[in-house]
Structure 1
Amino acid sequence: MTPWNLLDLDKALRAGWAFDTCSPDDQADWQPGNPARGHCDITALIVNDVFGGDLMVGEVDLDGTQHGFHWWNRLPSGVELDLTLEQFQRGQTVMAARVVERPPGPLPRRWEEYLLLRERVSKRLGPLPEPV
C-alpha cells in the first residue's frame, strides 16, 4: 500500500462529492461551486474510518434560527478536523458542539451515499480501513 497524507484523503473526498452523494435535505442548495454542501455527515464517517477518534455534531445557526446539523471529527490527538466547513457561505455558525457515538452497523439513513463516497475514495486511494 502506498502511504497517504491528509491532502490525498481531502482530494479524494472532494473528487467524490456530487449531487448523488449530497444529503437529500441539501440537494436543492447543492452546486458544483460548493460541493461540500450536504456532505459533512458521510465525510466525517469516512475520516473516522481512516483515523478513528470522535464524531462531533453541532447545530447550524443562521440569524438565530437552527438550520440543521453539522458533523466533523475530533482525532485521537484531540485535534478537530472539519473538511466540509467551507459549505457555510451565508454567515452560518455552528453551535452546541457535542460528541456522538457512531451507530454500529449500517447507518439508519444515508447508507447508500456513504457507501458510494467510500467507493469513490477507495478508487483514488486504495482500500480504506473497515469502519471502527
Structure 2
Amino acid sequence: MTTRTLAEIEAVVRSSWGPDTSFATADYMARGDGRPSRGQCATTALLVQSLLGGDLMVADVEFEGRIEGVHYWNVISGEVEIDLTRDQFGPGESLVNQRRVTTPRSPSSAGEQPFQLLRDRVVAALGS
C-alpha cells in the first residue's frame, strides 16, 4: 500500500461510512441527529488497527445514568490516540470506564459484514 497521511485515511474512511457499515442498536442510532460517525466506532477502530497497528481503546457509553454500549478508538505507535468517531456523541452521553485492549481484535460474527464492507470500500479508495 502506498504510504498515506492520517488526514487522507480519515477522509477516505469518513466517505466510506454508510448505514450498512454501522454496528449499533436502533435506539442508539435514533439519538444520533444524523451524525455520519454514529455507530461507526467498532468497524472504524478495527479498520484503523488493521491499517496502522496499535491497540484498541474501549469505554462504556453512559446515557441518563445507564450504560448503553461501548465506544472504540485507537492508540498507535508513540501513544497517539486516534478517534475518528468521537463526534458521534450527543448531549447527555459520556464515556466511562476507559480501558486499553492490547490483543488484536476481530469483528464479532454480527459485526463481520459491516467491517468487511467498510474495509473493502476503504482499501479500494486507497488503491491497494
TM-score by length of 2: 0.86
Aligned residue in 1 for 2:5: 5
Shift of 1:41: 0.4
Alpha-carbon distance between aligned partners in 1 of 2:3 and 2:105, rounded to the nearest angstrom: 29
Secondary structure at the residue paired with 2:78?
coil
Please state how far the C-alpha of 1:66 moved relative to its aligned partner.
Answer: 1.0
The CA RMSD measured in Å over matched residues stands at: 2.1
Unaligned residue ranges in structure 2 (runs of 5+): none
1:114-129 counterparts in 2 under 5 A?
114-127=115-128
Equivalent residue, structure 1, for 2:67: 66
* TM superposition shift of 1:30: 7.7
Q: Give the aligned partner of residue 91 of structure 2.
A: 90
Residue of structure 1 in register with 2:22 after alignment = 22
Residue-pair matches, total: 126
Distance 1:16 1:30 in 2: 21
Equivalent position amino acid for 1:124 in 2: A
Runs of 4+ in 1 over 6 A off after TM superposition: none
1:103 to 95, 102, 105: 105
The CA distance in 2 between the partners of 1:35 and 1:22, in whole Å, is 10
Q: Higher helix share goes to which structure?
A: 2
**TM-score, scaled relative to structure 1:** 0.84
Residue identity over aligned pairs, in percent, reads: 37
Q: Please give the secondary structure, in 2, of the residue aligned with 1:55.
A: strand
Gaps of 5+ in 1: 128-132
